[in-house]
């Protein structure tokens, strides 16, 4: 019931459909109760006294009742269907909305396949129950109440004797529910594991094939598939055990009625018509009881699915706006970023960053260098408020970013990551992703600056070329250039290049950087790179090691000092650097390398 209560917000706005569906079902059920009475009347008041002229009238009444019942059943189905679909629609949108608000921390652990199954299979179980299952259970109750009341009216003693097996049936039904619910919960989980396996396999198909691990994947899938099958069989076993027993117990009522009612008719304490009417009314009780297992089954499926959907809807959002968060106005943002003594660790991990101080005046370029896992990307993630800073603070134009509206903060920042995600849409739409109402000229301008225009024009459909979700048909460097164009078109105050040019060759990188120079003007830029060539023009280069800043300064200063920066420089330009330490400060290796290349 808790699931139903928690889902109230989704079905209550549709209560007119709910009420209509229940109302028509009640009318249909009530109309159904006229049959046994017509039968009783036919036998006791028409056939026994031989008033056969009433038969055509009775037949006519039956036709009218049947037609009315059919009409009401249709209306119940019509409104029930609407209700189910509208509730599913609301829930689907709410879930999708929630997926957008959940923070990076949630996605660090979330499984795509599991989320997909919540949005599809679980939602379908909810739709079915809210649309039909709920009304059917109510119908069952109504049939028992109406049928029972009529039976009591006809003969209360016989009613009480007949209904003796009902409490046994109720106990059985409760036990069945207790067993089947966990089975369904496990089944839903097994289904989600299965979907996850399929999703991961498709996403990682290149890795699977390159490592020739198809057999391993098939085995992995069969294990999960078998778990699902075992769950299904387990549920079927419970079902198979309880259903016949419940049916048997329900039929005992009919047997008791035949014996007790038969004796009463023979004794003359019950009219034959009443007995026949009783016999049809008993199915009003037994019928729903038979279906009890099915309804419980439906309800528990709904409950298991509802728990999973509500679990997602109630998921904690780690990064959200504080009360009275400041909405940034792009035209007023200058882009002065300061990290003040920032220390951060990911959940259940040791510190990824320790005591980080950075001052990036508006329009400056800050470069980050450091080994893998040294914390470069984490700095960027914190600036975008992907995670909340616990110690220290990050300031934008003198304002702590935790007091800034998250969306408006992210609107000021355009990131380009090492791994480019392209949507299955045209190149034009992929570039224009960051902003609305963008012209073709603006798109082309951004593409020219990111050196993407030429290769796009070589594609048969140019900017209209549809790229697959993994950027099918494009090289890593081409995808990166599209991602750079996507960031540039956003015209951000703060530009983030997280290993953004790692997939392009040095010459293209140099060309893109020439474009960047124009673009970086007036924007604060953070560049993470493994190549010294990408960082050398930065106003400040910060060298990180295990979350600590170990060196900082301009390129010329850093190569003049002993330390990791110079070591990296030495490795990357081994062919051009002489062993004389004093050379580092005076020789601009990059320029010499370029002139050598000519
Ligand atoms: N989402 C995450 N959840 C938990 N730990 C993380 C997460 N992202 C990074 N880390 C950990 O934080 C540390 C810093 O990682 P970070 O990604 O910032 O390094 P990096 O310098 O950008 O590395 P690379 O150059 O390989 O991208 C590492 O120890 C890493 O394992």
SS3 503: coil
pTM score, whole prediction: 0.73
Cβ-based burial of 334 (10 A; exposed 0-12, middle 13-18, buried ≥19):
middle
**Can you read off the two tokens belonging to residue 473?**
């048909």
Q: Compute the distance from residue 372 Cα to the ligand 1 centre, in Å.
A: 8
Asked if 162 and 257 count as a contact pair (C-beta separation under 8 A), the reply is yes
Q: Whose CA is nearest to atom 28 of ligand 1?
A: 373
Q: Which atom of ligand 1 is nearest to the CA of 418?
A: 27
CATH superfamily of 2-313: ABC transporter type 1, transmembrane domain (1.20.1560.10)
CA 459, CA 22: separation in Å to the nearest integer? Answer: 59
Q: Give residue 376 CA to ligand 1 midpoint distance, Å.
A: 8
| Segments making up each domain of the chain, as ranges | 2-313
User: Three-state SS across 305-359?
Assistant: HHHHHHHHHCCCCCCCCCCCCECCCHHHCCCCEEEEEEEEECCCCCEEEEEEEEE
Smallest CA separation from ligand 1 atom 31, residue: 373
Handedness of CA 256, 258, 264, 269 (dihedral sign): positive
Tens-digit pLDDT string for the chain (598 aa): 688 888 888 989 989 998 999 899 889 988 888 888 888 888 888 888 888 888 888 889 989 999 999 999 999 989 989 999 999 999 999 999 999 888 888 888 888 888 888 888 889 989 989 888 888 888 888 888 888 888 888 888 888 888 888 888 888 888 887 888 888 888 888 888 888 888 888 888 878 888 888 888 888 889 989 999 999 999 899 989 988 888 888 888 888 989 999 999 999 888 888 888 888 888 877 777 767 767 877 888 888 899 999 999 999 888 888 888 888 888 888 889 999 999 998 888 888 898 899 999 988 999 999 888 888 989 999 999 989 888 899 999 989 999 999 888 998 898 888 777 888 888 888 888 867 788 888 899 888 888 888 888 888 888 888 887 655 577 777 888 888 888 888 888 898 988 766 666 666 666 666 666 666 777 899 999 888 888 888 899 999 998 899 989 888 888 888 888 888 888 877 655 555 554 444 444 444 444 444 4
The minimum-distance atom of ligand 1 relative to the CA of 370 is: 21
* Dihedral angle over CA of 64, 70, 75, 78, nearest 10: -160
Q: What separation in Å is there between the alpha carbon of 105 and the centre of ligand 1?
A: 13
Name which of 380, 266, 376, 399 is nearest 324 in CA terms. Answer: 399
User: How many residues in the chain?
Assistant: 598
Which of 345, 370, 376 to probe ligand 1 with, by most ligand atoms within 8 A of CB? Answer: 376
The Cα 576–Cα 555 span in angstroms is 17
**Whose Cα sits closest to atom 12 in ligand 1?**
352
**pLDDT recorded at residue 555:** 87
3-state secondary structure of 459: coil
Give long-range contacts, CB 8 A cutoff, 24+ apart: 134-140: 135/21, 135/22, 135/25, 135/76, 135/80, 136/291, 136/295, 136/298, 137/295, 137/299, 138/22, 138/25, 139/25, 139/29, 139/288, 140/288, 140/291, 140/292, 140/295
The pLDDT, as a whole number, for residue 471 is 52
Instruction: Report residue 374: phi and psi, to 5°.
Output: -80, -10
How far is it, in rounded angstroms, from Cα 109 to Cα 347?
A: 11
Residue with CA at minimum distance from ligand 1 atom 9: 378
Please name the residue ranges forming H helices in 155-291: 156-162, 165-203, 205-210, 214-267, 272-290
What whole-number distance in Å separates Cα of residue 515 and Cα of residue 183? 60
Tell me the two tokens of residue 575: 């062919």
How far, in Å, from the CA of 388 to the mean position of ligand 1? Answer: 15
Measured in Å, residue 552 CA sits from the centre of ligand 1 at 20
Would you list the DSSP string of 386-427? SS---EEEEEETTEEGGGB-HHHHHHTEEEE-SSPP--SEEH
Alpha carbon distances (Å) from 261 to 251, 252, 270, 276, 560: 15, 13, 7, 9, 108
74 Cα to the center of ligand 1, angstroms: 59
The DSSP line for 416-458 is E-SSPP--SEEHHHHHGGG-SS--HHHHHHHHHHTT-HHHHHH
3-state secondary structure of 102: coil
Ligand 1 centre to CA of 514 (Å) is 29
How open is the CA angle 387-469-222, to the nearest 5 degrees? 90
Flag whether the ipTM exceeds 0.90.
yes
* Residues whose beta carbon lies within 6 Å of some atom of ligand 1: 108, 346, 349, 352, 370, 372-378
Q: Compute the distance between CA of residue 458 and CA of residue 472 in angstroms, rounded to an integer.
A: 16
Name the nearest CA neighbour of 392 among 333, 326, 348, 345: 345
Q: Whose CA is nearest to atom 3 of ligand 1?
A: 346
Q: Compute CA distances 186 → 181, 191, 192, 235, 308, whole Å.
A: 9, 8, 10, 10, 11
Q: Which residues contact 181 (CB under 8 A, 6 or more apart)?
A: 300, 303, 304
Ligand 1: residue whose CA is nearest its atom 24: 372
The gap from C-alpha 538 to its chain's centroid, in whole angstroms, comes to 41
Contact 246, 290 (CB under 8 A): yes
């Amino acid at each position: 019931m808790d699931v139903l209560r928690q889902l109230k917000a989704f079905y209550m706005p549709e209560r007119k459909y709910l009420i209509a569906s229940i109302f028509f079902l009640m009318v249909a059920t009530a109309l159904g109760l006229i049959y046994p009475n017509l039968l009783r009347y036919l036998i006791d008041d028409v056939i026994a006294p031989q008033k056969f002229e009433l038969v055509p009238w009775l037949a006519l009444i039956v036709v009218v009742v049947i037609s009315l019942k059919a009409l009401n059943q249709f209306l119940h189905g019509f409104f029930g269907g609407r209700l189910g679909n509208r509730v599913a629609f609301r829930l689907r949108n709410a879930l999708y909305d929630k997926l957008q608000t959940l923070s990076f921390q949630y996605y660090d652990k979330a499984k795509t396949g599991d989320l997909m199954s919540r949005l599809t299979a679980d939602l379908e179980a909810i739709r079915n129950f809210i649309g039909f299952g709920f009304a059917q259970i109510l119908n069952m109750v109504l049939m028992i109440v109406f049928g029972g009341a009529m039976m009591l009216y006809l003969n209360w003693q016989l009613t009480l004797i007949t209904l003796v097996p009902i409490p046994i049936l109720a106990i059985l039904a409760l036990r069945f529910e207790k067993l089947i619910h966990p089975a369904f919960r496990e089944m839903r989980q097994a289904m989600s594991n299965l979907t996850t396996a399929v999703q991961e396999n498709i996403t990682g198909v290149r890795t699977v094939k390159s490592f020739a691990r198809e057999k391993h994947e098939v085995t992995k899938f069969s294990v999960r598939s078998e778990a699902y099958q075992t769950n299904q069989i387990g549920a079927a076993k419970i079902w198979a055990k309880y259903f016949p027993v419940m049916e048997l117990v329900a039929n005992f009522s009919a047997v008791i009625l035949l014996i007790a009612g038969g004796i009463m008719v023979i004794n003359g304490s019950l009219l034959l018509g009443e007995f026949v009417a009783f016999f049809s009314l008993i199915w009003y009780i037994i019928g729903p009881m038979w279906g009890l297992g099915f309804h419980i089954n439906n309800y528990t499926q709904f409950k298991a699915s509802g728990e999973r959907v509500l679990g997602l809807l109630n998921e904690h959002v780690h990064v959200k706006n504080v009360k009275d968060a400041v909405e940034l106005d792009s035209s007023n943002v200058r882009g002065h970023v300061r990290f003040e003594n920032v220390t951060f660790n990911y959940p259940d991990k040791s510190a990824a960053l320790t005591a980080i101080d950075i001052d990036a005046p508006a329009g400056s370029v800050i470069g980050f260098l450091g080994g893998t896992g040294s914390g470069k990307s984490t700095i960027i993630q914190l600036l975008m408020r992907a995670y909340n800073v616990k110690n220290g603070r990050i300031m934008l134009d003198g304002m702590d970013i935790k007091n800034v509206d998250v969306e408006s903060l992210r609107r000021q920042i355009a990131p380009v990551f090492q791994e480019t995600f392209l949507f299955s849409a045209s190149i034009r739409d992929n570039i224009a992703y960051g902003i609305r109402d963008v012209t073709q000229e603006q798109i082309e301008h951004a593409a020219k600056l990111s050196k993407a225009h030429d290769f796009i024009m070589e594609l048969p459909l140019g900017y209209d070329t549809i790229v697959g979700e993994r950027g099918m048909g494009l090289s890593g460097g081409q995808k990166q250039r599209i991602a750079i164009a996507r960031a540039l078109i956003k015209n951000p105050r703060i530009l983030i290049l997280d290993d953004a040019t790692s997939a392009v060759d040095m010459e293209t990188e140099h060309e893109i950087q020439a474009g960047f120079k124009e673009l970086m003007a007036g924007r604060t830029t953070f560049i993470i790179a493994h190549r010294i060539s990408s960082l050398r023009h930065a106003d400040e280069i910060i060298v990180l090691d295990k979350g600590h800043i170990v060196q900082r300064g301009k390129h010329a200063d850093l190569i003049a000092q002993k330390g990791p920066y110079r070591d990296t420089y030495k490795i990357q330009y081994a062919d051009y650097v002489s062993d004389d330490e004093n050379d580092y400060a005076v020789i601009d290796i990059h320029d010499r390398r370029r002139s050598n290349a000519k």
